[in-house]
Structure 1
């Protein structure tokens, strides 16, 4: 096995074992690779790890010279660090066992400034152009401006000028605004951010620099769609954190975190994030290597300490320190749930509620007819036998949550979520005919649950469902209006999160519900610190968690109230 793969595996094992300081996302990325290496090839898993393919780009990059700073003055070549070997060998080592084509088609790398990302990116750009075995390779660097895109390109051009072998052995021609290889009809160039001017590309390799600064998704989308004609085109994004959680960068970041959390399965995308963990003190030097794997190399401790002192003394400098030096996204919103804790609470037996007949229960109802889901959550308490520390089984009372989700067939067909149709086929979403979700199906389920359980309340939002609710009230169902305000949701958000973290809540393991829970972020008011559940973009559905919060919020309130301040009115 090569020195690069050995270094990569040693790094991954040290991170997972806790021997190297790393954040949770880095640990999960390393664990993903170690787990994948243990898998046997099959029809569902057609990938094998090719050590030779893994080491080639590493060996290529280490033949290139440094072109900036003291190492350039000393005439030194690039020497990859173990963390860099881990990323490169993982991306390039996995291939299809029959075709030999690369597994990964997209890479998302989020890391603090000064961690040699331009140096590595320039090396990968030159490798893809000259040594990746692709004829007619089109390789690009892209950013918000042509000047930004030229940073990586100009570094690559300078490396090429100081590497005669690229010209004599690989046929690289160096020009002011492009690099070409005549015998393979390949070219490389920088691209600007005007997405409308990028049509007609046939991308083999594209390096998107500082994606967080892209005000629109135009460049990403154009390059992404320009890869369809290539069998193993690679879109590589390297960025630091930013502030715009509604932009394309945070969208890609969210997708990566869900892959690492195993909420979403996407075997063709590799992602790694270097940042500090929630709860870390940003001014503690012990946590700085989490966001800076090149700490002590290109990231100098004295420079970091000076930036930290400035941020601590000047509030105006704090956000810049957090985003640029520690790779922390700065916003008034934060993720609600620890998804690993949520997954630990799964109890698939709750998909069959027949054994809980007669239990005192509460129901939450969040209705929508077109593009959003209709969601119904029922909660009740039940004693489970669990093995204690003394080795004796004892009953433990837990809150049980079961959620039903409804969506019309047109919304599923038009959804950009590739997993949704599969979830529907598996029965995790109840599909109704046409272009509007059929509320009669929801009403039938409500009636059935009221016959099966001792339902205390059915909490609903009157803004969307008064006519629907009126008919059920006439039938005697115990509907209760919930005004969806922060004053109601604040205690529910806190209490439900605590129940999950303490293992005192169990749910039916619906993967659509897990996806929705991972979408929910909490917006905290600057004036009274009240909390509101929200989502960062329209496609991030949260209807299921809203219905669960309504049900659990009422159940945990202990006794009904009819004050507006409590967020509801009894009917």
Structure 2
């Protein structure tokens, strides 16, 4: 049997030294554990590492058989590798010095497919059902659909059927839709949002599988709130990357990265993300092991090579390769913007517009009254001649309350969205901001769509504001879509790092005409708002069109690398 603590420390030392390929978030997760192990017990740090409890789930899982593929045919038992021992010993090893209760109450593991995350999770679920010492334990595999919920459950059931010791020594009863232990009144069952009220739960352990596929936060919230009566319940989230940055998965991922980055202190949360670093080329074979900790074990180089060739040859396969094989979050099924490049262009200092007062500027205006945002995007050039984008977003309080975006209320509290009273967005607030911007800047034009805002615009035109009608058609949008994308990829644009705007940019997809290659911005679902980017496209479209052709060419050429 393996020395699981030695394997865990060998893995951590390899990550820390660079011998084991790892991304930023994996390195930070390892650094966190190494730092915690070095901390002395104090009033602020009541946790101690219990080596015996750390290895118990590892020892248990290695007594379970493989149930699929070659290793199942050969009758082999599960053999844990370093990264799995690191996770298990960290999660189960930390206990309170006085009560002996576990420190970690929630786990978030983000890792690509084929890294045996369902096998690991099934083993942990069986351990929590039969060997954790909890009476009346309720263990669930939860998902949005019953088929998805059964993946982890069916794997655990298959392991149990091939493990007579669980029946003879633990009294485990195996049924089609549940596993039970009569002597402790414990049970394990799949749990799906469909066909179930999800009420009346008393959760000791729950696996939420493929969290990125959850379109609402209902399952997560029900499971999370159903753990209150348990002293050391554990919520185990496993997922690959996805496309929905407004959902519960990306919310939890964001929280995990803040904890790993030291921005937020949450000692009850364990999280690790296996992905690429921002600068990595997804087709660089040397980077693939960063995202796939089971590289060479269950993730085979030949299979990855085949998937990469398909992604390179077929653009429609690229997003699937990025999300499922490399755990890279993408913007949508047919994304406009490379979000990693967009994030690199963020400049929070732009939020203080007073430093740029008096400059020539253009404004794009996209208005909506009920569930969509109103947006005003200001663009101007800085001292280096780079185009800068600052976007103000407005939404009424009812729309925020009813929104399915898990982040929106927090963004509003942080001031990234201007909230107006009632159930309609107050255009007077927008008008006041436009008047102030015109006083602070030399505003050349305010581009607006007359289909949505003619009456509103008429009042401002009477006041002398320079409003210009823009029909939101592909003939206008094609050039701004191409130019802004290129500017972002080249690092020639700056924006004010508003996370709501980033979410909207990630939602925007481009529809290309088959007849004339004209492009139009659109969104895949009504909840994927794109009002801010539309305002930006209008503003920068007019600003770039106002530049003499030679000026724009010279501007782009000035940033080109000098010839070797």
- Which TM-score bucket, shorter chain as reference? 0.7 to 0.9
Per-residue CA deviations over 1:281-307 (Å, capped at 9, x if unaligned) read 76x865664665433223444566677
CA distance in 1: counterparts of 2:312 and 2:419, whole angstroms: 53
Aligned-pair CA distance for 1:533 = 3.6
CA distance in 2: counterparts of 1:202 and 1:511, whole angstroms: 36
Aligned-pair CA distance for 1:495 = 3.0
Equivalent of 2:424 in 422, 436, 440: 436
Could you say what secondary structure the match of 1:523 adopts? strand
Residue 509 of structure 2 corresponds to: 522
Q: Does 1:449 align with 2:449?
A: no
Higher alpha-carbon deviation: 339-348 or 440-449:
339-348
Aligned-pair CA distance for 1:466 = 0.9
* 1:124-135 alignment runs, 5 A limit: 124-135=124-135
Equivalent of 1:225 in 222, 225, 237: 222
Residue 179 of structure 2 corresponds to: 179
* 1:463-502 alignment runs, 5 A limit: 463-502=451-490
Could you say what secondary structure the match of 1:513 adopts? helix
CA distance in 2: counterparts of 1:314 and 1:500, whole angstroms: 24
CA contact (8 A) 1:523 1:531 kept: yes
Higher alpha-carbon deviation: 89-98 or 549-558:
89-98
Aligned-pair CA distance for 1:471 = 1.1
Per-residue CA deviations over 1:308-363 (Å, capped at 9, x if unaligned) read 88999999999998887677889751261434753553142x33333433211111
CA contact (8 A) 2:160 2:174 kept: no
CA contact (8 A) 2:5 2:85 kept: no
CA contact (8 A) 1:21 1:290 kept: yes
* 1:188-207 alignment runs, 5 A limit: 188-191=188-191, 194-196=194-196, 199-207=199-207
* 1:334-345 alignment runs, 5 A limit: 334=335, 336-339=337-340, 342=343, 345=346
Q: Does 1:34 align with 2:31?
A: yes
CA contact (8 A) 2:8 2:82 kept: no
* 1:247-262 alignment runs, 5 A limit: 251=247, 254-255=250-251, 258=254
CA contact (8 A) 1:172 1:179 kept: no
Could you say what secondary structure the match of 2:510 adopts? strand
* 1:275-354 alignment runs, 5 A limit: 289=289, 292-301=292-301, 332-334=333-335, 336-339=337-340, 342=343, 345-348=346-349, 350-354=350-354
Could you say what secondary structure the match of 1:2 adopts? helix
Could you say what secondary structure the match of 2:28 adopts? helix
State the TM-score, normalized to the length of structure 1: 0.74
Aligned-pair CA distance for 1:507 = 3.3
Segments of structure 2 that go 5 or more residues without pairing to the other structure are 550-564
CA contact (8 A) 1:5 1:54 kept: no
Q: CA RMSD in A?
A: 4.7
Q: 1:401 to 1:324 in 2, by over 3 A?
A: closer
Could you say what secondary structure the match of 2:189 adopts? strand
* 1:51-70 alignment runs, 5 A limit: 52=51, 55-68=55-68
Could you say what secondary structure the match of 1:196 adopts? coil
Could you say what secondary structure the match of 2:196 adopts? helix
Segments of structure 1 that go 5 or more residues without pairing to the other structure are 384-395, 562-571
Residue 136 of structure 2 corresponds to: 136
CA distance in 1: counterparts of 2:500 and 2:252, whole angstroms: 17
Aligned-pair CA distance for 1:188 = 1.2
Could you say what secondary structure the match of 1:489 adopts? helix
State the TM-score, normalized to the length of structure 2: 0.75
Higher alpha-carbon deviation: 539-548 or 137-146:
137-146
Could you say what secondary structure the match of 1:345 adopts? coil
Q: How many residues matched?
A: 528
Higher alpha-carbon deviation: 519-528 or 267-276:
267-276
